[in-house]
Structure 1
Amino acid sequence: MAESKNNIVTHGLSGKVGDLLVFSQRNGKTVVSKAPKDRTGELSDKQKAHKLKFQKAVLYAKGVLNDPLKKELYEAKADNSIGMSTYNVAVADLLNAPDIEEINLSGYEGNPGDVIKITATDDFGVVAVTVKIENADGSLVEEGSAVNNGAEWIYTTTASNPDLAGDKITVQATDNPANLTEETKIL
């Protein structure tokens, strides 16, 4: 890929030249690249899934640009000096689900008021974390939303749970485009 800076011949040029070159504009610069080849053959299932996810990301980003509140949030994260537009940030947000980095159960002993700490991150931001506690037999002990204290998410238990052996604690983290990540720990 070549870049043309302050060239009066190629300034503002965009489009395809034959089957050889493609001219495009990025951040006020004319970029010249090799023309893409036509695809032959069927897409694999993995390629189809990736294509569908990217299509959803494009639709999400277009929706963000049409929603003034969401657009303002994404604009704050955009950096046009390196080619990262509001649109690019929104596409990337949909393509990247949150990460649950840690579930700290050291403060959970089965008593009301015990604390479970969750470290969850996202390229743009985690908007919600939920916790579900089930007994070994699958019966629900409790579930609810954790509270963000800035550094981590805190879930304060409300139910008594005297027998912790084999209990399952499931944590879900969600971001703006509703990507969901789930992690489970067994006591």
Structure 2
Amino acid sequence: MARTSNNSLTKGLRGQIGKQLVFKQYGKKTVVTRYPDMSKVVPSELQKAQRNGFAEAVAYAKSINNDSALRAKYAKKVKKGKSVFQYAIQEFLKGKNG
């Protein structure tokens, strides 16, 4: 793992390059690591259920985003700084959880 703090080339850099390197920010330092190998990780039943629920929420939000009438209706409810997509996901997940 490589670390850098005052390098103008990597300052503020985060994300990944292909499936080779990952750039992370910890405070004012940039950390470079290998891309994680998750091939042997087996998700639990609860993780699978959570992922399925979130996939349903994304599908719901996409359906609203693609329907201009529904999108306009939701746009009236959305607070400044949020998108209709984010709001629809939030609404779906809140309705599902209680």
Q: Do Structure 1 and Structure 2 share a fold, with TM-score over 0.5?
A: yes
Aligned residues between the structures: 79
Select the residue among 22, 31, 51 that pairs with 1:20. 22
State yes or no: 1:56 paired with 2:64: no
CA distance in 2, matches of 1:65, 1:50: 22
Q: 1:88 corresponds to which residue?
A: 86
Secondary structure of the structure 1 residue equivalent to 2:49: helix
Task: Point out the structure with the larger helix share.
Answer: 2
Quick one: percent identity of the two aligned structures?
Answer: 27
Secondary structure of the structure 2 residue equivalent to 1:21: strand
Alignment-mate amino acid for residue 22 of structure 2: L
Secondary structure of the structure 2 residue equivalent to 1:20: strand
Structure 1 outlier segments of 4+, above 6 Å: 32-36
Alignment-mate amino acid for residue 48 of structure 1: K
CA distance in 2, matches of 1:63, 1:43: 28
Unmatched 5+ stretches in structure 2: 1-8, 25-29
Alignment-mate amino acid for residue 43 of structure 2: L
Flag the 1:21–1:180 CA change in 2: closer, same or farther, 3 A. closer
Contact 2:14 2:23 in 1 (8 A): no
Task: Point out the structure with the larger strand share.
Answer: 1
Q: 2:41 corresponds to which residue?
A: 41
Larger Rg: 1
| Superposition deviation, residue 95 in structure 1 | 0.8
Secondary structure of the structure 1 residue equivalent to 2:21: coil
Q: Map 1:154-173 to 2 at 5 A.
A: none
Contact 2:78 2:84 in 1 (8 A): yes
Alignment-mate amino acid for residue 37 of structure 1: P
Alignment-mate amino acid for residue 79 of structure 1: K
Alignment-mate amino acid for residue 89 of structure 1: Y
With the length of structure 1 as denominator, give the TM-score of the two structures.
0.34
1:101-153 superposed Cα distances (whole Å, 9 cap, x missing partner): xxxxxxxxxxxxxxxxxxxxxxxxxxxxxxxxxxxxxxxxxxxxxxxxxxxxx
Between 1 and 2, higher relative CO (CA 8 Å, sep ≥ 6) is seen in 2
Alignment-mate amino acid for residue 23 of structure 2: L
Alignment-mate amino acid for residue 59 of structure 1: A
Flag the 1:49–1:73 CA change in 2: closer, same or farther, 3 A. same
Secondary structure of the structure 2 residue equivalent to 1:96: helix
Q: 1:133 corresponds to which residue?
A: none
The RMSD of aligned alpha carbons is 3.4
